[in-house]
Amino acid sequence: MPKLTFPGGALIGCSAGFVNVPRIKGSHNAVLSGILAADKLAEAIAAGRANDEVTGIETEWRDGLIGKDLKKVRNVKPLWSKFGTVIGVGLGGLDMWTNELFGFSLFGTLKHGKTDAASLEPASKHKPINYPKPDGVLTFDRLSSVFLSNTNHEEDQPVHLKVKDMGLQKRSEHDVFAGPSTRYCPAGVYEWREQDGEETYVINAQNCVHCKTCDIKDPNQNINWVPPQGGEGPVYPNM
């Protein structure tokens, strides 16, 4: 977990990493962390404090419902990443049971060992996977789903996905890693398109759903996600 508090603000919900991975659910912890932050902020305001660090959030979340919920599942994703789906998920299940029944883990607290960006390997080490085309009944293409989610940005706003070095993106992301951004981005923002005989990196920033995967997964850490227009996000009219 990152440090949650800083002068004048705090990370809560998904931005703090409060998703319970085996349950694929984080909304309960997002609500609880919002309540904790509001309680601590109200206490600080009542005490006449301003612009300082509300450290009570940092010290109390681990002992509360969020900490209890996440402590039991802390090793599931590291085990899954290390040992693969069949063995890793099985070990993760065993670990959750020992945590639940006996209050301890045989593994202690595991770490991932490397970043998501460092875990990517060159395409030459792997065979391409040919996924079946979406059938429009049970499976759907990404852009149709982005359209249904009704997210949008102002069309003429500055691009908030900054590629630091376009040459590196072509030499490495495209030539060595076979353009993973065209697959990991859930909104189909990135495309390698042939234009005038050259592969060109196209960024459809207005489709971005702000998951920040590109910021952490790009193998060269060459993509920097920034909040659009000083903090604006996609418009989610259905939320």
Q: Does 146 bind ligand SF4 (CB under 6 A)?
A: no
* Binding residue count for ligand SF4, defined by CB under 6 A: 13
Structure tokens belonging to residue 96: 């959750």
Would you count residue 14 as binding ligand SF4 (CB under 6 A)?
A: no
Interface with ligand SF4 (CB under 6 A), residue from 39, 186, 201, 233: 186
In 72-106, alpha helices (H): 76-102
Map the footprint of ligand SF4 across residues 151-170, applying CB under 6 A: 161
Interatomic CA distance for residues 102 and 152, integer angstroms? 48
Q: Establish if 10 lies at the interface with ligand SF4 (CB under 6 A).
A: no
User: Which of helix, strand or coil describes residue 41?
Assistant: helix
Q: Which stretch binds ligand SF4 (CB under 6 A): 6-14, 59-67, 98-106, 180-188?
A: 180-188
Query: 99 vs 169, which CB is nearer to ligand SF4?
Result: 169
| 174 in Cβ contact with 220 (< 8 Å) | no
73 backbone φψ class: left, alpha, beta (φ>0; ψ -120 to 50): alpha
- Residue 187 CB, nearest approach to ligand SF4 (Å): 4
Return the residue of 36, 37, 70, 185 that touches ligand SF4, per CB under 6 A.
Answer: 185
* Cα–Cα dist 8/158, whole Å: 27
C-alpha to C-alpha distance for 79 and 129, rounded to whole angstroms: 24
At CA 131, angle to CA 140 and CA 213, rounded to 5? 70
Query: Within 71-90, which residues bind ligand SF4 (CB under 6 A)?
Result: none
**Is residue 213 part of the contact set for ligand SF4 (CB under 6 A)?**
yes
Nearest to 35 by CA among 64, 6, 73, 15: 64
> Which one of residues 40, 187, 219, 228 is an interface residue with ligand SF4 (CB under 6 A)?
187
For position 234 contacting ligand SF4 by CB under 6 A, the verdict is: no
123: contact with ligand SF4 by CB under 6 A: no
Q: Is 54 in the site for ligand SF4 (CB under 6 A)?
A: no
> Smallest gap, in angstroms, from Cβ of residue 45 to ligand SF4?
33
